[in-house]
């Protein structure tokens, strides 16, 4: 069988927006083939298919909508995660 999945991550040291990195990765059979990183600001491909998709997505609407995810997804949730972890420690 084949396994295709995506992973969204928020890496942070504080709840300040500048200290947060949003990463969205695409995997096929445990091999990451393309990634969006907010610190790079675009998609980067790691395989032949990933490179082709990165070129296409970086010139379209995909990259614009993905750039907004750092604030929409991470910034909102970092406060929730931090508060939850601190109340349990």
Is 57 within 8 Å of 40 (Cβ atoms)? no
Confidence of residue 56 (pLDDT cuts 50, 70, 90): very high
Task: Tell me how far apart the alpha carbons of residues 37 and 42 are, in angstroms, rounded to a whole number.
Answer: 6
Q: How many independent structural domains does the chain possess? A: 1
Quick: pLDDT tens for 11-52. 988 767 788 899 999 999 999 999 999 999 999 999 999 999
Is 24 within 8 Å of 69 (Cβ atoms)? yes
| Cα atoms found within 13 Å of the Cα of residue 52, Cβ hemisphere only | 2
Q: What is the pLDDT of residue 80?
A: 77
Query: Helix (H, G, I), strand (E, B), or coil: what is residue 4?
Result: strand
Instruction: Find the domain containing 14 and state its range.
Output: 4-88
CATH assignment of the domain containing 82: 3.10.320.10
């Amino acid at each position: 069988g084949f396994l295709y999945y995506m992973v969204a991550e928020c890496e942070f040291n504080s709840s300040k927006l500048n200290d947060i990195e949003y990463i969205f990765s695409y995997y096929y059979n445990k091999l990451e083939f393309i990634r969006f990183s907010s610190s790079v600001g675009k998609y980067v491909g790691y395989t032949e298919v990933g490179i082709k998709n990165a070129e296409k997505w970086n010139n379209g609407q995909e990259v614009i909508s993905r750039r907004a995810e750092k604030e929409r997804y991470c910034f909102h949730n970092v406060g929730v995660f931090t508060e939850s972890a601190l109340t349990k420690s």
